[in-house]
Amino acid sequence: MDVHAGEIWIEKYRPHSLREMVGQPRVVPLLEAYVARRTLPHLLFAGPPGTGKTTAALALARDLYGEGWRESFLELNASDERGIETVRNTIKNYVRSAPLASVPFKLLFLDEADQLTNDAQASLRRMMERYSASSRFILSCNYSSRIIEPIQSRCAVFRFKTFSPEEMRGYLGRIAQAEGRRVEPEAMDALVKLADGDLRRAVNLLQLASALTERITADSLYESSSTPLPREVEQMMGKALSGDFEGSREALYALLTDRGASGEDVVRALHRHLPNLSLPDEEKIRLLEVLAEVDFRLAMGASDRVQLEAFLARLGLLARRGGGASA
């Protein structure tokens, strides 16, 4: 693989062929079969972020067309241009032109297709029917339920799963070795935990932690990424559960100001630590419901501090009712 110094690692180490892809054992062999037969239907790639949907589309195009793959491949992001005019103009102008390669069709990759409006999807469906002889569509989305049924029925649907810890460790280990970095076992465990199956996020975190040191520890990983350390979250929740609301509040402020953690980072850290609390399952369920509400309100633009303080206050109420527990 041709790689160059100074590149973003997710691009530098992106597989160029389906043979190089890791994970997705139910997807890759079928795509390789399409390449071998030099024919394929319209495709719908569905799955969480960072699971290889874009990589699979690019690798498929390279394997199918060879060196001149860019002449027969167009990539668009539907989140940038969501309206019907994009479908009528940009996409129509591309698919109506004749293919240049020996393969009798061109590829159009529409990333984040679930961001298209319903009118745009209806127009896209008609175009998929009209120009199927000269073009194939690859649609990528996080939520297939947001794609209208007439489009789904015209596509072969591929479900991309999150990467297993073993797959992530192997891939990240190869990158670290190629870059001359030493990742401590605890740091690799932290990488896998923070990424939560999102390989793109894991590679970005690895590159960020590698900027200042060649030896990556768990602490340096958390600090460079402004992600709360597990022990910091444990101490903050422990103070709240012991009835020390002011102490837990100060610990929260330290995370948001001194560490520069975002409210979303703290919510994710709280979510990871919640199962470890010595509380009855019923209380854990209630706290999870509160945390879900906090997460939703933050996504809607609410104040990080106010919402997270409310969650810590709920922990404090548990302590006052005699439900206090160790974190």
pLDDT (tens digit per residue) in 133-148: 889 999 999 999 999 9
Q: Could you say which of 3.40.630.30, 1.10.357.10, 3.40.50.720, 1.20.272.10 is the CATH number of the domain covering 230-323? A: 1.20.272.10
What confidence tier does 220 reach under pLDDT thresholds 50, 70, 90?
confident
Average confidence (pLDDT) over 123-137: 90
- Is 323 a residue whose pLDDT tops 60? no
What is residue 6's predicted lDDT score, i.e. its pLDDT? 65
Q: Tell me the HSE value of 50 on the side-chain side, using a 13 A CA sphere.
A: 18
The residue that leads in pLDDT, 45 or 276, is 45
Q: What average pLDDT does the chain have?
A: 88
Amino acid 139 reads L
**What pTM was estimated for this model as a whole?**
0.81
- Is 274 a residue whose pLDDT tops 70? yes
What is residue 1's predicted lDDT score, i.e. its pLDDT? 40
Q: Could you say which of 2.30.30.30, 3.30.70.260, 3.40.50.720, 3.40.50.300 is the CATH number of the domain covering 9-159? A: 3.40.50.300
Q: Which range has the worst mean pLDDT, 78-82, 170-174, 286-290, 317-321? A: 78-82
| Residues 5-37: tens digit of each pLDDT | 468 999 999 999 999 999 899 999 999 999 999
What is residue 98's predicted lDDT score, i.e. its pLDDT? 75
Q: For residue 240, count other CB atoms closer than 10 A to its CB.
A: 27
Angle at 155 between CA 146 and CA 116, to 5 degrees: 35
| Residues 234-255: tens digit of each pLDDT | 999 999 988 899 999 999 999 9
For domain 165-224, the question of CATH label 3.40.50.720 is answered with no
Where do the domains of the chain lie? Answer: 9-159, 165-224, 230-323
What is residue 97's predicted lDDT score, i.e. its pLDDT? 79
Q: Are 50 and 8 in contact (CB under 8 A)?
A: no
Q: Are 183 and 202 in contact (CB under 8 A)?
A: no
d(CA 154, CA 121): 13
- Is 96 a residue whose pLDDT tops 70? yes
- Is 4 a residue whose pLDDT tops 60? no
Token couple for 250: 């100060």
What is residue 291's predicted lDDT score, i.e. its pLDDT? 94
Average confidence (pLDDT) over 300-324: 84
What is residue 3's predicted lDDT score, i.e. its pLDDT? 40
All residues at 6 or more sequence positions from 323 whose CB lies less than 8 Å from its CB, including other chains: 279, 280, 283
| Residues 64-93: tens digit of each pLDDT | 999 889 989 999 887 665 556 666 777 888
